[in-house]
Structure 1
Amino acid sequence: MQRIVLLQLAATVVTAIIAGILGGGAAFYSALLGGLCYVLPNGLFAWRLFVGAHKSSGANPISFFIGEFIKIALTIALLGVVVWQYHDLNWLALIVGLIVALKSYIILLFRH
């Protein structure tokens, strides 16, 4: 799970750099924030799964679903905060950064 989160973070940074080259500073920050809106909750979710799996009682399926709900809610909340607070928002870069972070795990599928 750690590899996936690190890959998502790396893909987000690369996407932000490309967006910054193509669209300037606002596009860079928009793509970076868009990706981080998913990477941060996903990292928290992965950490929670790791801690839950290493408990003496083992993993609990209910905690997985609660964690997934929290991850989705936190992603939506972070996107709302970015849209509300960042006034130079580049919508295309934000959406591309988010999609790249969401789908970057596909890269790991093609590595093996």
Structure 2
Amino acid sequence: MLRLVSLQLMVTVAAGLIAALLGGWAAMLSAVFGGLCCVLPNAVFALRLFANTKKPGGADPISFFIWEFIKIALTVALIAATFSLYRDLNVFAMIGGFIVALKSYIFLIFRH
């Protein structure tokens, strides 16, 4: 799980660099913020899931679904905060950064 989160972070930085080349600093920050809207909730979810596996009974399905719901709610909250707080938002760059970070697991699947 840590590999996936670190890969998402690296892909987010790469998307930000590409957005900077295509659209300037505002596009770069928008793409990075969009990627972080995906990476941060996944990191919280991965840490909690890892902590639950270290319990004596292991991870139970209820905690998995609760933390999945929290991950989705945190993603929506971060996207809403990005829209409301960043005035120079480039929506296309933000959505692009989010999608690139969201689909970066495909690189891990095809690596083997």
TM-score interval (norm. to shorter): over 0.9
* CA distance, structure 2, for counterparts of residue 74 and residue 59 of structure 1: 21
Q: Which amino acid aligns with 2:30?
A: S
Q: Deviation of residue 56 (structure 1)? A: 1.2
| Identity percentage of aligned residues | 61
Aligned position for 1:31: 31
Q: Deviation of residue 39 (structure 1)? A: 0.2
Using structure 2 for the length normalisation, give the TM-score: 0.99
1:25-70 Cα offsets, whole Å, 9 max, x none, are 0000000000001100000000000000011121110000001000
Aligned position for 1:6: 6
Q: Which amino acid aligns with 1:34?
A: G
Unaligned runs of 5+ in 1: none
Q: Which amino acid aligns with 1:44?
A: V
Aligned position for 2:97: 97
RMSD: 0.5
Unaligned runs of 5+ in 2: none
Which runs of structure 1 show a deviation greater than 3 angstroms over 4 or more consecutive aligned residues? none
Using structure 1 for the length normalisation, give the TM-score: 0.99
* CA distance, structure 2, for counterparts of residue 79 and residue 85 of structure 1: 10
Structure 2 counterpart SS, 1:95: helix
